[in-house]
Amino acid sequence: MQGAGKGTLGKQLSEKYGFQVFETGGELRKLSSEDSELGKKVKSIITAGHLVSNEVVMEIVENFLDHLAPGINILFDGIPRKIEQANSLNALLEKTGREYKAVLIDIKKETALKRLTTRRICAKCKTVYPADYQNATCSACGGELTTRADDNAEAIKTRLSAFENETVPAINLYNDKLIKINGELTIDEVFELAVKTLDPILK
Ligand SMILES: [Zn+2]
């Protein structure tokens, strides 16, 4: 769920385990500056102001997999968001012979609301800081911290209900492949718990 600390945990885990991170927004930005066929396609969709369809997202994932060195594990950040996407992503991973697990950082709706309305973002490098981060400036680049434009109450409610209506059914698909981690704890505790859970799986 939004506000669970997904971005932070993803970063910590990729540093620890050497995961290659796939994040749709980042891939779209990277591709649209490339001179490849897929890059041009992505750029024209974005320029036209259209949403990138699931079909194109899967093309992007496939392209990402094709360019990966062998033996590298991938962390998909924020995808799949819907049942349709979960089904096509799983099919693609199975087709390419990859094993997968889904990780859910579990938090209560009230916690999500509270965190989303109080977190801040670096104006320069876009790093997100939780409410309990004490400094006024970014620890990575020294930039000024501001609240996110899309973190107003109305927008947050819309995102949380999209999570309940669209993402929860996708999560339920994973059954025994789903790993739930308690996200109500501190950032360090969540990381520790995640490592304890993932260590035996990744070895
Ligand atoms: Zn920064």
**Chunked mean pLDDT (size 10), the chain, 203 residues:** 83 94 92 94 92 94 92 93 96 94 93 86 88 88 86 83 94 95 92 96 85
Ligand 1 centroid, distance to 148 Cα (angstroms)? 14
**Residue 102, beta-bridge partner list:** 178
Ligand 1 centroid, distance to 199 Cα (angstroms)? 31
Long-range contact pairs involving 48-54 (C-beta distance under 8 Å, separation at least 24): 52/24, 52/28, 54/82, 54/84, 54/85, 54/88
> Quick check: is 172 in a domain?
yes
Rounded CA-CA distance 178/184 in Å is 18
pLDDT for res 117? 84
Could you tell me what percentage of the chain is helix, strand and coil, using 3-state DSSP and rounding each to the nearest 5?
55, 15, 35
pLDDT for res 83? 96
pLDDT for res 14? 94
Q: Determine the structural domain holding residue 77 and report its residue range.
A: 6-19+73-107+160-202
DSSP class of residue 48? T
Considering its fold, how many domains does the chain have in total? 1
Ligand 1 centroid, distance to 127 Cα (angstroms)? 6
> Quick check: is 151 in a domain?
no
> Quick check: is 190 in a domain?
yes
CB atoms within 10 A of CB 47: 9
Ligand 1 centroid, distance to 145 Cα (angstroms)? 8
> Quick check: is 98 in a domain?
yes
> Quick check: is 13 in a domain?
yes
In this structure, are residues 129 and 145 in contact, taking their beta carbons and an 8 Å threshold? Answer: yes
Ligand 1 centroid, distance to 90 Cα (angstroms)? 35
Residues with CB under 5 A from ligand 1 (ion): 122, 124-125, 127, 138, 140-141, 143
Ligand 1 centroid, distance to 125 Cα (angstroms)? 4
> Quick check: is 147 in a domain?
no
Q: Is the pTM of this model over 0.85?
A: no
Output the domain CATH number for residue 78.
Answer: 3.40.50.300
Residues 91-106 as b/e (b if ≥16 CB within 10 A, e otherwise) read: eebeeeeeeeebbbbe
pLDDT for res 90? 97
Both tokens of 203, joined, read 């070895």
> Quick check: is 114 in a domain?
no
CB within 8 Å of 106: residues ≥ 6 apart: 1, 4, 180, 181, 182, 183, 184
> Quick check: is 96 in a domain?
yes
Strands 120-122 and 128-129 come out as: antiparallel
